[in-house]
Structure 1
Amino acid sequence: MPVLPVLRGLCLGLVIALPACTLSAPPPEPEAPEFSTRWDHRPEADLWTAAKFDALGREANALVRTVPRDIDAFCPGYVEADTAARKAFWTALFSGLARYESGWRPEAAGAGGRYQGLLQISPATARHHRCDLSAPRGLYDGATNLRCAARIAANSVARDGVVTGGPGAWGGVARDWPPMRNGDKRSDIAGFTRSLPVCQTS
């Protein structure tokens, strides 16, 4: 596939800072693929999935453009996947992470309210990453929390070039979310995402 001129310039300029940056854009995005998330049993499932997809096409698009060095552990088909399939992978990954962070409860509060919502984000971290907290419930609004998490992860994954890294060199999603540094929890989440049709190799 021809390389987009803008993407080529971006990658050449950032190749040292972003070792995972590739010189090929994902194929054009078709209709959203059918895939499972771990919050499918929740009444808010469609809203949460839509919010995550939208964020991945906007403020967190760096997640879709980046090919992390350890992506095969989570989604072997990611390199060949189109934009919609990559969005599906990241949405599924965060649905698994939300299980360990909040039990999929948007009202969850940790450390006396220091960490809030589905992905247990602190207001200070949200402000640092310029998340939109205009919803009345702020980070306790599921869609708001997921959009903010996507923005945070996009910065970390693009910078570190990994989904999680490993012991002694944690990065990417594991930089901000401790469950990804736990072997059993990480393996559970990775096992779920690897099973997705969008993560299969051709």
Structure 2
Amino acid sequence: MNRGLRIAVVLAGGLAALMLAGCGKHETAQATAVPAPAMKPAPPTPIEVKKEEVGGPTWDPEWDKIVELALPPAMLSGQVPHDVKRFCPAFYGMAEDDKRAFWAYFFQALAGAEAGLEPTVQAKHAQPEMAVKDEVTGRPGRTSGLLQLTYEDQKRYGCDFDWERDKQLKVGDPDRTILQPKNNLECGVKILDKQIIEKHKALLSASGYWSTLRPGTVSYRVFAKQMTNVPAACAVHNARKTVDGTR
């Protein structure tokens, strides 16, 4: 199934689920139900396009919904640091659903750079800064999942990881809580929210959680290459024309 058809199926399924959710409910429950926010699917990153062509793990459109529903209001507001305009010049003036689509694309790009879009990837790191012992597992230098997170993030950011359960499962088992895309992506949103909103750091920072978001590094260049097909609402091409003096 091609990407366009998959997205249409996901959106149709989501609408049907919302309609069914209202059936058979008491009026009081209906009155208090919170409607789902307006959402748009994100466009494919270059690695997603390539993997669709040659085969391999691809980005599931359902993951867009996970990211978009996890976003706190502040990440859709003027509190987002101004370097977001490096990738999305029109961010502050965009509609909320377009902002949600941008963040879904951002995390797709991050997952492409960090894990090649493979949700069960786990990596051991030899670098001194990454080889420190995880306070939860007691093991050094291992990151996991789409966004290459650690069990220690459960303590730091309130992520839905359960090491006591996961250690009973084989390494790479998709049932591990840290490898489940929903848990991993929701945790990533919490981490970024804490960095750019609570701590008022830049989106791209030398002290950021992910090395892929640290300008000047090799991994940042990998990430930047994935940020070349952002949603049209970001008006990247128009902004470039203005800068070049051709508009």
Q: Same fold (TM over 0.5)?
A: yes
* 2:39–2:97 Cα contact (<8 Å) kept: yes
Distance 2:37 2:144 in 1: 34
Distance 2:94 2:104 in 1: 14
Change (3 A) 1:119 1:34: closer
Deviations 1:25-61 (A, max 9, x none): xxxx9742353133474566122111111101xxx33
Partner residue, 1:163: 203
Q: Deviating runs (4+, > 3 A) in structure 1?
A: 39-44
* 2:70–2:186 Cα contact (<8 Å) kept: yes
Distance 2:178 2:74 in 1: 22
Give the CA RMSD over aligned residues. Answer: 2.7
**Structure 1 residue 117, shift from structure 2 partner:** 0.3
Pairs within 5 Å for 1:1-40:
31-38=38-45, 39=48
Percent identity (aligned):
22
Distance 1:118 1:34 in 2: 18
Pairs within 5 Å for 1:1-202:
31-38=38-45, 39=48, 41=52, 45-56=60-71, 60-65=72-77, 66-111=79-124, 114-133=142-161, 136-158=175-197, 159-165=199-205, 170=206, 175-181=208-214, 182=217, 183-193=220-230, 196-200=231-235
Deviations 1:58-116 (A, max 9, x none): xx333222331212101011010121111111110111111111111111001177211
SS at match of 2:82: coil
SS at match of 2:184: helix
* 1:72–1:78 Cα contact (<8 Å) kept: yes
Distance 2:117 2:224 in 1: 19
Letter in 1 for 2:86: A
Runs of 5+ in structure 2 lacking a partner?
Answer: 1-35, 126-140, 166-174, 239-247
SS at match of 2:89: coil
**Structure 1 residue 144, shift from structure 2 partner:** 1.1
* 1:70–1:164 Cα contact (<8 Å) kept: yes
* 2:68–2:100 Cα contact (<8 Å) kept: yes
* 2:40–2:100 Cα contact (<8 Å) kept: no
Distance 2:182 2:37 in 1: 23
Change (3 A) 1:118 1:80: same
SS at match of 2:91: coil
Partner residue, 2:243: none
TM-score by length of 2: 0.58
SS at match of 2:42: coil
Change (3 A) 1:35 1:94: closer
Deviations 1:152-200 (A, max 9, x none): 10110112342114xxxx25xxx0111122352243134333xx21211
Change (3 A) 1:188 1:180: same
* 1:55–1:61 Cα contact (<8 Å) kept: no
Max Rg structure: 2
**Matched length:** 162
Runs of 5+ in structure 1 lacking a partner?
Answer: 1-28
SS at match of 1:115: strand
* 1:69–1:161 Cα contact (<8 Å) kept: no
